[in-house]
């Protein structure tokens, strides 16, 4: 999971470098980041389901928490055009969208804290909150 985050950082830097020459593409950046979140979430799920060592989940939780701070900024005006599943509500209800992203970030932070403490029950509860936050955001802010 840490490798995926390193890849995301490299991609963001690469896109950032390209942005100066060709223009920054927020759609590609947010899609790449969300793909990494999905993979990280899947890794967390595997540990939770297997009743594995929850202490290994501290950094993945932190990474998702940090991504959710940045994620809403990747929806500037005009980035609703092109190859995107972003729903119009992202722009018409920006405060609601930011709140939804924050809900996932908060749950991921709770997971990270619980993982650091080795509290498997709290990790499981935070993981459920993360799933609920993802589903709620996709319901309102992602096209089917």
3-state secondary structure of 142: strand
Which residues on adjacent β-strands are paired with residue 55?
Answer: none
Backbone angles phi, psi at 76, to 5 degrees: -70, 160
pLDDT of residue 23: 82
CA distances from 88 to 5, 32, 33, 38 (A): 28, 20, 20, 22
Task: Give the residue extent of every domain in the chain.
Answer: 2-141
- Mean pLDDT over 88-116 rounds to 98
pLDDT tens readout for residues 6-42: 555 555 555 544 444 478 899 999 999 999 999 999 9
| Contact present, 86 and 61 (Cβ < 8 Å) | no
What CATH number should be reported for the domain whose range is 2-141?
1.20.120.10
Which residues on adjacent β-strands are paired with residue 86?
Answer: 142
């Amino acid at each position: 999971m840490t490798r995926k985050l390193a890849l995301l950082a490299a991609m963001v830097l690469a896109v950032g470098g390209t942005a100066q020459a060709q223009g920054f593409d927020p759609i590609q950046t947010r899609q790449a980041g969300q793909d990494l979140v999905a993979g990280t979430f899947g890794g967390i799920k595997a540990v939770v389901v297997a009743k594995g060592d929850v202490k290994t989940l501290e950094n993945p939780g932190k990474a998702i928490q940090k991504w959710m701070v940045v994620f809403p900024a990747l929806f500037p005006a005009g980035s609703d055009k092109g190859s995107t599943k972003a729903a119009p509500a992202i722009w018409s209800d920006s405060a609601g969208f930011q709140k939804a992203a924050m809900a996932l970030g908060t749950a991921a932070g709770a997971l990270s804290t619980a993982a650091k403490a080795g509290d498997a029950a709290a990790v499981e509860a935070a993981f459920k909150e993360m799933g609920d936050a993802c589903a709620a955001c996709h319901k309102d802010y992602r096209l089917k």
